[in-house]
Chains A and B, each alone.
Chain A
Amino acid sequence: MSILARIKSFFGMEAKPDKEASQEEVEKVAEEKAKPRIGYIHLSGCTGDGMSLTENYDILAPLLTDMIDIVYGQTLVDLWEMPEMDIALVEGSCCLQDEHSVHELMEVREKAGLVVAFGSCAATGCFTRYSRGGQQAQPNHESFVPIADLVKVDLAIPGCPPSPEIIAKTVVAAINGDMDYLQPMMDLAGYTEACGCDLQTKVVNQALCIGCGTCAMACQTRALSMTNGRPELNENRCIKCGICYTQCPRSWWPAERINQDLGL
């Protein structure tokens, strides 16, 4: 089985038998295309996003050896000078007081075709939003912002961390040029001010909440519970990752993709 087919079958995405021909075509294109050059840029994040990526054990080896080229990344590639990249995955928010981070981010935007805010710290600021400085190792490092505050971001993949599954699905979509799948991530690039209270202001206040509980299921810090069929936020636990609102069926609705995934 080709690597692409393996990745697809791993995620239950195998094409229906009657679509065999077109699947072969996709693979052929994927195999003929030059491997995308990927850079991994680590700003103020906890490395959880990178770890989640590596949790795709079944596909990681073929992915790294045959499908993409990692051309830049601390601890990943022995290279100081940032090269040209097709895709830059940026983990972590950017500290405004850290000139190296700001400079690196600017350089990423110049050198990368696509800049991806990878994980909620890069996408929404996440828990670094709570920083107030006054700590070692550098007490004046106090202001951490989502990278879209400083540069144009093409795709955002929120999550604290993003699940291994969404990472793999995104990689497969990017390699196949499946822009429909990536569209929500393009839209999410604009969602930089996130909070659990978005459920109240953008869903409940807008007469859209239906009490399904998806938000409370998705919250990665158990900041949400459901009371009388509406989400209730424990602000002390909320890290402003934006996952609750992102997963809510009433924020955006990818109907065609779901029908396709279900074979309906």
Chain B
Amino acid sequence: MVLGTYKEVVAARSTDKQIQKLAQDGGIVSGLFCYALDEGLIDGAVVAGPTDVMWKPEPMVAMSSDEILAAAGTKYTFSPNVWMLKKAVRQYGLEKVGTVAIPCQSMGIRKMQSYPFGVRHLADKIALMLGIFCMENFPYESLRTFISEKAGVDFDLVEKLDIGKGKFWIKTADQMLTIPLKETHGYEQNGCKVCLDYVCELADVSTGSVGTPDGWSTVFVRTDAGETVFKQAVEAGVIETKSMDDVKPGLGLLEKLATDKKTKAMKVIDERKAMGLPVPFKGSGEKEDPLANV
């Protein structure tokens, strides 16, 4: 259960060459949103759009495939996508909203849907939540430290950022620089330390790079809504899949990383409780499964 409840897990990627080129991993997020837009399953999607400042995203409502692709790729800093959902409905007039969410964002959205105290006419308009895996996130200044100071490259030259295989990767047009992840430790935001969710357990479909080879993604299909869209997209040939058993490194690595994240977070949660600091989750002694996302 460290990977949450799911109906199916597969290795997958978008079959669209342009999406493959622009996306972070298998282009699952962009590919599914473009498909859902084309098919009218969503009217638009909240994504982490580009701004004037390199690698500093801002949530935006994408209404076309071009806008979705403009926001493809991972930015390792805050994009408060949940903020934009209300605008998507009130200002853009969307009835069926798609949104990409890291686990903690999915929690804000799901809590709002179950308990919409002050939020009217939004809960039932979230038509598709695509979750992405997340180990931690960084303040923009941390990112600047990695790129400008540790790696010593100009922000404007950076084409892609990635985390994987124990390293933080910085790709420019002509070089590939890396920083060992142990050097990035201490720069992540503190709120991540109590986060129990690695694989976005509450999304309709969740996806990330870990578990599958470069250019592919690991995809969990979780809810009925997620299953409908994902199946249709695969049948339409927009997404191609492989069994997880046929790819390396496979689910084992994901299970290990999810377990590590939860175990570490549980320790911090217990420590905070012992100090009398607030924390919204239960302590390890208060629940049956100490690694459950509660």
Contacts and interface: CB of A to CB of B under 8 A. Distances in A.
B117 A246 contact: yes
Given A166-B117, A256-B294, A212 B80 contact: yes
What 4 pairs between A and B have smallest CB-CB spacing? Answer: A213-B80, A229-B78, A213-B83, A214-B108
Interface stretch (B165-173, B187-195, B230-238): B187-195
A217 B110 contact: no
B280 A261 contact: no
B223 A263 contact: yes
Nearest to A251: B280
A211 B137 contact: yes
A210 B104 contact: yes
Nearest to B268: A207
A241 B111 contact: no
A263 B110 CA distance: 12
Interface in A172-217: 184, 202, 206-214, 216-217
Interface stretch (A35-43, A58-66, A95-103, A155-163): A155-163
Contact of A217 (B4, B85, B277): B85
Interface of B: 4-5, 59, 77-78, 80-86, 104-105, 107-121, 123-124, 137, 139-140, 189-195, 201-202, 222-224, 277-281, 292-294
B187 to A, nearest CB: 14
A164 B124 CA distance: 12
A220 B201 CA distance: 29
Contact of B191 (A158, A160, A207, A263): A207
A34 interface: no
A249 B111 contact: yes
A4 interface: no
Contacts of B59: 213
Contact of B189 (A158, A164, A211): A211
Contacts of B5: 259, 264
Contacts of A209: 189, 191
A61 to B, nearest CB: 20
A264 B202 contact: yes
Contacts, number: 168
A259 B294 CA distance: 10
Given A206-B278, A213-B82, A228-B139, A261 B113 contact: yes
Given A208-B279, A258-B202, A216 B83 contact: yes
A163 B85 CA distance: 16
A157 B119 CA distance: 12
A254 B114 contact: yes
B238 to A, nearest CB: 25
A243 B115 CA distance: 11
B280 A162 contact: no
Contacts of A162: 117-118
A252 to B, nearest CB: 5
Nearest to B77: A229
Interface in A142-174: 157-160, 162-166, 169
Contacts of A30: none
Given A208-B279, A210-B191, A214-B82, A243 B118 contact: yes
Nearest to B6: A264
A212 B82 contact: yes
A258 B194 CA distance: 19
Interface string A235-264: 000000101001111111111111101111
A208 B294 contact: no
Contacts of B104: 210, 212, 249
Given A159-B118, A247-B108, A264 B222 contact: yes
Nearest to A156: B117
Contact of B120 (A163, A225, A241, A263): A163
Contacts of B83: 213-214, 216-217, 225-226
B294 A220 contact: no
A262 B223 contact: yes
13 contacts: A160-B118, A169-B115, A208-B194, A209-B191, A213-B59, A216-B83, A225-B83, A248-B108, A253-B281, A253-B294, A258-B202, A259-B5, A264-B4
A54 interface: no
A17 interface: no
Given A165-B116, A217-B83, A229-B80, A252 B108 contact: no
Which among A164, A216, A259 has the highest number of chain B CB atoms within 10 Å?
A: A259
B82 A166 contact: no
A123 to B, nearest CB: 10
B119 A217 contact: yes
A216 B80 contact: yes
Contact of A262 (B77, B110, B123, B189): B110
A226 B294 contact: no
Given A217-B82, A247-B112, A210 B195 contact: yes
Contacts of A207: 190-191, 193, 277
A31 B113 CA distance: 28
Contacts of A217: 82-86, 108, 112, 119
Nearest to B107: A249
Given A210-B104, A213-B83, A262-B222, 6 more contacts: A214-B82, A218-B118, A247-B118, A248-B108, A249-B107, A263-B224
